[in-house]
Amino acid sequence: MKAFRTLDQADVKGKRVLVRVDLNVPMENGRITDATRIERILPTLRELSDKGGKLVILAHFGRPKGRDLKDTLRPVAEALGQHLKKPVAFADETIGPVAEAAVAALKDGDILVLENTRFHAGEEKNDPAFVKELAKLGDLYVNDAFSTAHRAHASTEGLAHLLPAFAGRTMEAELDALTKGLEAPTRPLVAIVGGAKVSSKIDLLENLVKKVDALVIGGGMANTFLHAMGMGIGKSLAEKDLAPTALRILAQARESNCAIILPVDGICAYEFKAGAANHAYGMDAIPDDQMILDVGPQSVERINAAINDAATLVWNGPLGAFEIAPFDQGTVAAARHAAARTKAGKLVSVAGGGDTVSALNHAGVADEFTYVSTAGGAFLEWLEGKPLPGVDALKA
């Protein structure tokens, strides 16, 4: 039994189903530039429609302050219809008589998108009066938007308390992957954390050292740790004022028996520029006038050995400045190694966070990981061990 209710337990035939999804797709000049989020919700919508539910879709778009038609969901609803290959109706209002009439007109299997939930201040405030107005429009509530589950908003959390609430298939897949990744993992459990700064990931590092057997630290943030440990890091990006924080995290790791794996060598250059002349140096010999832009070959070997030891891997953040070649090589090599171990059935690999998804795509292996989460903020808050209100509200 899962800890949350799924569509297997929902009887939707003839019922009005309020479905919260993520339609916050990137748009340029009225055109959707990446439809991944739409693709991800299709299985849930198809299943609910095929089972005869009357689908009333709720979503936010952008960050409008009140009603602002530049953030209307109308074009996104049209695109959704094209992806589903069936008509999708649109109501100009989220609540009130216009929305109620559009819902009343639905037949079994029909699909309606309501206007941007964030046109109402009550959405982000989780205002009970707004939740009540939304709840009038449905008999059941399905949440398929993991990416907004870290927010206790009316359409992501409030509704689950007024209507019978279920996880959609995308939410279910995400929660299953996260359970395998950190909550009930097969051990040894190894995490790789990279990226630019320690400051944005203090809570995450503190949570992970308590849970994982080994933590690989790479990217710019490794420099702060190396500096704190008294190593020379030349002109590398580092947050030197956070040296005490880095030392505290290392002490916490020792207490929790978590092995810390830091780079033993780095690819260094004089400038942060694609194709800049570069050289690998041992960590005890980083030149004063250069910066570390990637982990070196010995570090990659060490990281790959840690991946070999792992039964489960959780990954967030690139190991180097992967956007500019050749400083992508450490990240690419480790990502490919993790993908190969996953393919061989030796590893459960769960990765997520904005730059991580681009880095894995860049390495050409995003499809080969067990699960790659595209939910930026919610994935990070989950890595930080914080409660996710949208998920907690679905628990049986």
Q: Which residues are catalytic?
A: 37, 197, 354, 377
Residues 142, 17: contact at Cβ < 8 Å? Answer: yes
Q: Which helix (H) or strand (E) holds 54?
A: strand 54-58
- By CB under 6 A, the residues from 266 to 305 that bind ligand AMP are 292-293
Of 19 and 293, nearer to ligand AMP (C-beta) is: 293
Interface with ligand AMP by CB under 6 A: which range of 93-101, 178-186, 316-324, 380-388? 316-324
Residues 108, 13: contact at Cβ < 8 Å? Answer: yes
Helices within 61-158 (DSSP H only): 74-84, 97-104, 121-125, 128-135
Q: Is residue 323 involved in binding ligand AMP (CB under 6 A)?
A: yes
Closest approach of ligand AMP to the CB of residue 221, in Å: 7
Q: Residue 297: is the preceding peptide bond cis (ω within 30°)?
A: no
**Taking the CA of residue 65 as centre, how many other CA atoms within 13 Å lie in the half-sphere pointing to its CB?**
0
Q: How many residues does the chain have?
A: 396
Interface with ligand AMP by CB under 6 A: which range of 18-26, 38-46, 175-183, 190-198? 190-198
Closest approach of ligand AMP to the CB of residue 321, in Å: 4
Q: Is residue 199 involved in binding ligand AMP (CB under 6 A)?
A: no
Residues 140, 15: contact at Cβ < 8 Å? Answer: yes
Interface with ligand AMP by CB under 6 A: which range of 94-102, 106-114, 315-323, 386-394? 315-323
Q: Is residue 262 involved in binding ligand AMP (CB under 6 A)?
A: no
Taking CA atoms, 180 is separated from 30, 35, 187, 313, in Å, by 39, 27, 10, 10
What radius of gyration, in Å, describes the C-alpha atoms of the chain? Answer: 23
Question: Of residues 185, 317, 352, 389, which one binds ligand AMP by CB under 6 A?
Answer: 317
Closest approach of ligand AMP to the CB of residue 19, in Å: 31
The site for ligand AMP, by CB under 6 A, has a size of: 16
Question: Of residues 9, 186, 200, 361, which one binds ligand AMP by CB under 6 A?
Answer: 200
Phi and psi at 126, nearest 5°, equal 50, 40
Of 142 and 351, nearer to ligand AMP (C-beta) is: 351
Site residues (vs ligand AMP, CB under 6 A): 195-197, 200, 219-220, 237, 292-293, 317-318, 320-323, 355
